[in-house]
Amino acid sequence: MPDFAVFADTQQEPSEVYEWLDKLAILLPFPIYIVTKGDLGEGAVAIRHRKRDGLPYAKWLIPAFAQSNDNQVGILGRKCTADYKIAPINNKIKELCDIKRGQKNITVTQWIGISWDEMQRMKESRQPWCQMRFPLMELRMNRSHCLQWMRDNNYPEPPRSACTFCPFHNDYEWRRLRNEQPEDFQKAVVFEAKMQEVAKQDVILKSKPFLHRSCKSLGEIDFDNDEDKGQQVWDFQAECEGMCGV
């Protein structure tokens, strides 16, 4: 049995995730600690100024898509997982487990809920005081097995944890967000527009950022023409640290 769970809140999760956290706090036999670095949405569109000349730039925290002059699509900087997920969680673990600076002997076993069909997301811990364990991998349970276990034990289906504006949403998830949580979808539309306005001020970035890999604005995309086939999955291979969506 774990001693505790830690949830890193980017303050940009869908409303249903926060509702689910409230339910878990009652259901689980161990405490959930919620930590945050701050509002990722605000941090991702904050204008900064270079020390050497005072010119404006943005610290691109999320993997937004951008198109070059020769129509090649690339991904901007990626710091959201490291800064807003992993670091706050590690800091809380060190606090709760009284981990001292420079301590190298393993004192913490961290459970990560990566399922069998997401094995590419498994990572070794970079902390000398921590070892990773992946219980769902040990049981060879994939995502559908997890959902079936919830049904078999009379639990509701849990929502996916990810920022409303996460560029790694596939078309199914964008469509679901638009149809089932229109307020959260509209927040993503507004965020994208703000991000594009910020990009105009960035002296370094020469491209227009988008949340969808087609490099079209969310409000212009007809997601109903892009029905997914088979299992509903995200592009988890692009998830470099294995900390989101669990």
Q: Specify if 244 maps to a domain.
A: no
Q: Assign residue 36 a region: left if phi > 0, alpha if psi is -120 to 50, beta otherwise?
A: beta
Confidence at residue 242, expressed as pLDDT on a 0 to 100 scale? 54
Confidence at residue 244, expressed as pLDDT on a 0 to 100 scale? 57
Confidence at residue 17, expressed as pLDDT on a 0 to 100 scale? 94
Q: Where are the beta strands (DSSP E) in 125-218?
A: 130-133, 209-210
Q: Specify if 70 maps to a domain.
A: yes
Count of the separate structural domains present in the chain: 1
Q: Specify if 246 maps to a domain.
A: no
Residue 85 lies in domain: 5-238
**Cα dihedral 32→36→41→46 (10° resolution):** 180
Predicted confidence band at 162 (pLDDT cuts at 50, 70, 90)?
very high
Residue of 141, 112, 149, 131 whose CA lies nearest to 246: 112
Phi and psi of 135, rounded to 5°? -60, -40
Model confidence over 176-226: pLDDT tens digits? 999 999 999 999 999 999 999 999 999 988 899 999 999 999 999 999 854
Confidence at residue 237, expressed as pLDDT on a 0 to 100 scale? 46
Average pLDDT, the chain: 89
Q: Specify if 243 maps to a domain.
A: no
Checking if the pLDDT of 23 tops 60, the result is yes
Q: Specify if 245 maps to a domain.
A: no
Q: Specify if 127 maps to a domain.
A: yes
Helix, strand, coil percentages in the chain from 3-state DSSP, rounded to 5: 40, 10, 50
Q: Specify if 151 maps to a domain.
A: yes
Model confidence over 126-161: pLDDT tens digits? 999 999 999 999 999 999 999 999 999 999 999 989
pTM, entire model: 0.84
Q: Tokens 């994939």 map to which residue?
A: 142
Confidence at residue 106, expressed as pLDDT on a 0 to 100 scale? 79
Q: Specify if 89 maps to a domain.
A: yes
Q: At what angle do helices 182-201 and 171-180 cross, to 10 degrees?
A: 120
Question: Please, how many CA atoms are within 13 Å of residue 184, restricted to the half-sphere of its CB?
Answer: 22
Q: At a CB cut-off of 8 Å and minimum separation 6, what does 74 contact?
A: 65, 66, 67, 68, 207
Q: Which of 70-74, 130-134, 226-230 shows the lowest per-residue confidence on average (mean pLDDT)?
A: 226-230
Q: At a CB cut-off of 8 Å and minimum separation 6, what does 173 contact?
A: 160, 162, 232, 234
